[in-house]
Amino acid sequence: MLLIMFLRALLVLLFITILLNPCFSIGRTPSDDSSFTTKLLLSKGRCCTEEVLLKHTDLSYISEVTDMLGCSFNGQTYREGELIVKFREGVSEEDIKKLLESMNAAIINKFARLRTYLIKLPPGMDVPEGIKVFRNLKEVEYAEPNYIRRTFEGD
């Protein structure tokens, strides 16, 4: 109960951040590729005035930031009822199947060379909920929506 309240408070905080910083982006900067470098541009208005340079090796951090800024959950940018999930090294396929079974979720597809799975969420669970649930599992390295990519072709 306390945890849920805490999470709610966190969400409110995140939304305040969004409102204050409508202009936000992550781009690549020329740097050594050993660590993933992101450039976060934050500002009070539409134009980016304040630059914050962050070095981050943890990719899930980046994804969380983009999610919290609402980039991910606008319109039909991902497929409903599905998640792309990478499990941590050492988690066996047996463990994964049991875990998913207990949650009433299922494997749709498996990408062997990437140790990554396409997961069917339990009926009634939407993608934002699923992200929260899966990211809290200790077996999960990351979980993200199954985004849609489009062609870049004009007329």
Partner 1 sequence: MQSQTTSGGPLKGIRFIGLSVLVFLIAISFISCNEGSSSTDRSKDVRQPYGVAGRDFSEGEIIVKFRRGIPFVDMMKTHLRVNARVKKTYKYFPEIYVARLPEGMSIEDALREYLRDPDVEYAEPNYIRRPFIVPDDPLFSQQWGLNKIDAPEAWEIINDASSVVVAVIDTGVDYAHEDLSYNMWVNPKEVAGNDLDDDGNGYVDDIYGINAINGTGDPMDHHGHGTHVSGIIGATGNNGIGVTGVNWKIKIMALKFMDGSGGALSDEIECIDYIIDMKQRGENIKGVNGSFGSSQFSQAEYHAIRLLQDYGIIFVAAAGNEGSNNDSNPVYPASYDLPNIIAVAATDQDDTLADFSNYGIRSVDLGAPGVNILSTIPRNGYASFDGTSMATPHVTGAVGLLSVYLTSYNYIQIKETILSSVEPLPPLSSRLLSGGRLNLFYALSFPGRPVRPTGLSASSGTQAVVNLSWIDNSQIEDGFRIERKTSSTPFIPIGDPLSANTVSYTDSDVEELVEYTYRVYAFNGNGNSPYSNESKVRTPLNAPSGLTAIPVSPSVISLSWTDNSSIEGGFRIERKKGTDPYATVATVSSNIKSYADTGLSSSTTYYYRVRAYKGISVSAYSNEASATTPASGGGGGGGGCSVGGKGAKRGGAILYLLIPLIPVLIKWIERSIRKEAL
Contact positions toward partner 1, by CB under 8 A?
Answer: 25-31, 33, 36-38, 41, 48, 59-60, 62-63, 66, 71-72, 77-79, 82, 84, 86, 108-109, 111-114, 116, 118, 142, 144-155
As measured in angstroms, the least distance from the Cβ of 44 to partner 1 is: 16
Q: What are phi and psi of 126, to 5 degrees?
A: -90, 175
The single-letter code of the amino acid at 132 is: K
Q: Whose Cβ is closer to partner 1: residue 75's or residue 123's?
A: 75
CA distance 136 to 96: 15
Which 3 state secondary structure label does DSSP give 80? strand
Q: Whose Cβ is closer to partner 1: residue 17's or residue 116's?
A: 116
As measured in angstroms, the least distance from the Cβ of 5 to partner 1 is: 29
Beta bridge partners of 70: none
Q: Whose Cβ is closer to partner 1: residue 80's or residue 95's?
A: 80
As measured in angstroms, the least distance from the Cβ of 64 to partner 1 is: 10
Residue 34 is inside which H or E element, if any? none
Which 3 state secondary structure label does DSSP give 63? helix
